A and B are shown apart, each in its own frame.
Chain A
Amino acid sequence: MIIELREITKKYGSVVALDNISLTFEVGKIYGVLGANGSGKSTLLKLIAGLAKPDHGVVTVEGVAVSRRIASAVSYLTEIDFFYPNFTVGQYIDFHASQFADFNRDKAIEMLAFMKLDVRKKVRSLSKGNRGRLKLVLALSRDAPVVLLDEPFSGLDVMVRESIVRSLLSYIDFEKQTVIITTHEIEEIEKILDEVILIKDGQIMAKENVEDLRESSGKSVVGWLKGHHR
């Protein structure tokens, strides 16, 4: 078990984002966190990344209580589409390499080639799809034990989504890394998930192994979700 959340409550003002939830994550698995906007998905990732503090409860990564310093063990892809427009792709790689000791430059170069991104191009001139690809390259180039991807597919077309799925399969180290992805695009990634977690109104509605779901109920995650929404 690499990540543990124990009796976590998180409020923003009077709004309860997460309501007394407990969850554990195991090494080498890919988790999908599903839920509507405002369900608490992003808050969950921010708590693991040390970007938000719980009002109650403890989050641990590799047995260590999470603080802002957990960034050395956690690679985090934000859902926000923000870059410094004057940086080139290459400068972004340099910047991240300077910030994270576990940044693997060889892996980054390989992924850039795979994603057909030109290091000399300024971020300003990149399409939305290519900005999404660059974000993923930056997040996956770190040899961090935990990789958190907040809505990596949001607003991207099918081609880009496919290249992201493929690079996840090619570049994650399944012996050592644990990946948590929040998404709406379940159809694209259900084949690569080990487990799905369904969040609604700050509570965990269900946590299931994707293959067990098919075996026991004869349902894909999409079919299962429909049952839960009724």
Chain B
Amino acid sequence: MSEDFHASKPIYLQVADRICYSIVRGEIKSGEKLPSVREMAVEMGVNPNTIQRTYAEIERDGIVETRRGQGTFVKNDPALIASLRTRIQTEVIETFVENMKEIGLSRTEMLAAVQQFLMKQGEAE
């Protein structure tokens, strides 16, 4: 248990992020059933009302669907993973670009820095 959460973002959204990451990484497959609200609450160490909110949120986002009496399932939609990956990717890049701007890098400098970094990493591997 004892998952750590950031102070600045509601826990229900942080749990939603984690589920999305797991789907993108293939740890949760499309069409797969998510743990029940209670199971997920115990696993994450958070209030079940929070998980309820998480499930409602990702259902609104079209990532999962609730089937009456059966539980919550990841949508069986091949386009889903691709769109989730794009979404997460955009978020990561946004943060990265923000940070780079803050230390005063121009667009070209950013691109050059990334290229150089990847090249170095390639050599190391």
Extra contacts, 7 of them, besides A29-B49, A223-B7 (Cβ < 8 A), are A170-B42, A191-B46, A192-B46, A211-B50, A211-B53, A220-B7, A222-B7
With the chains together, A174 CA to B52 CA distance in Å?
A: 12
Determine which of A30, A193, A194, A214 lies in contact with B7 in the assembled complex, contact meaning CB atoms within 8 Å.
Answer: A214
Considering the complex, give the chain B residue whose CB is closest to the CB of A166: B1
Contact B42 A191 (CB under 8 A): no
Q: Which of A123-156 contact B (CB under 8 A)?
A: none
Considering the complex, give the chain B residue whose CB is closest to the CB of A212: B10
Does A6 sit within 8 A of B, measured CB to CB? no
- The 6 listed contacts between A and B (C-beta, < 8 Å) are A170-B42, A191-B11, A191-B47, A192-B47, A214-B11, A215-B10
Which residues of B sit under 8 angstroms from A30, Cβ to Cβ? 47
Number of A residues with CB within 8 Å of any CB on chain B:
22
Which residues of B sit under 8 angstroms from A28, Cβ to Cβ? 49
Does B8 sit within 8 A of A, measured CB to CB? yes
Which residues of B sit under 8 angstroms from A38, Cβ to Cβ? none
B5-39 vs A, Cβ < 8 Å mask (1 yes, 0 no): 10111111000000000000000000000000010
* B50 to A: closest C-beta gap in Å: 7
Contact A169 B7 (CB under 8 A): no
**Given contact pairs A165-B1, A166-B1, A214 touches B8 in the complex (Cβ within 8 A):** yes
A198-223 vs B, Cβ < 8 Å mask (1 yes, 0 no): 00000000000011001100111011
Which residues of B sit under 8 angstroms from A214, Cβ to Cβ? 7-11
B48-87 vs A, Cβ < 8 Å mask (1 yes, 0 no): 1110010000000000000000000000000000000000
Determine which of A165, A174, A223 lies in contact with B49 in the assembled complex, contact meaning CB atoms within 8 Å.
Answer: A174
* A57 to B: closest C-beta gap in Å: 29
Considering the complex, give the chain A residue whose CB is closest to the CB of B12: A211
Main secondary structure of the interface of A (DSSP, over half): helix
With the chains together, A48 CA to B55 CA distance in Å?
A: 34
**Given contact pairs A165-B45, A166-B42, A191 touches B5 in the complex (Cβ within 8 A):** yes
* B54 to A: closest C-beta gap in Å: 11
With the chains together, A9 CA to B23 CA distance in Å?
A: 53
Contact B42 A219 (CB under 8 A): no
Determine which of B8, B11, B38 lies in contact with A218 in the assembled complex, contact meaning CB atoms within 8 Å.
Answer: B8
Count chain B CB atoms within 10 A of each CB in A169, A218, A223 and give the residue with the most.
A169
With the chains together, A193 CA to B47 CA distance in Å?
A: 6
Which residues of B sit under 8 angstroms from A94, Cβ to Cβ? none
Does A62 sit within 8 A of B, measured CB to CB? no
Which residues of A sit under 8 angstroms from B89, Cβ to Cβ? none
With the chains together, A45 CA to B1 CA distance in Å?
A: 29
Does A185 sit within 8 A of B, measured CB to CB? no
Contact A166 B45 (CB under 8 A): yes
Which residues of B sit under 8 angstroms from A219, Cβ to Cβ? 7-8
Contact B42 A211 (CB under 8 A): no
Q: Please give me the 10 A-B residue pairs with the lowest Cβ-Cβ distance, nearest first.
A: A220-B7, A218-B8, A191-B46, A211-B10, A214-B10, A192-B47, A169-B42, A215-B10, A174-B48, A169-B41
Does A162 sit within 8 A of B, measured CB to CB? yes
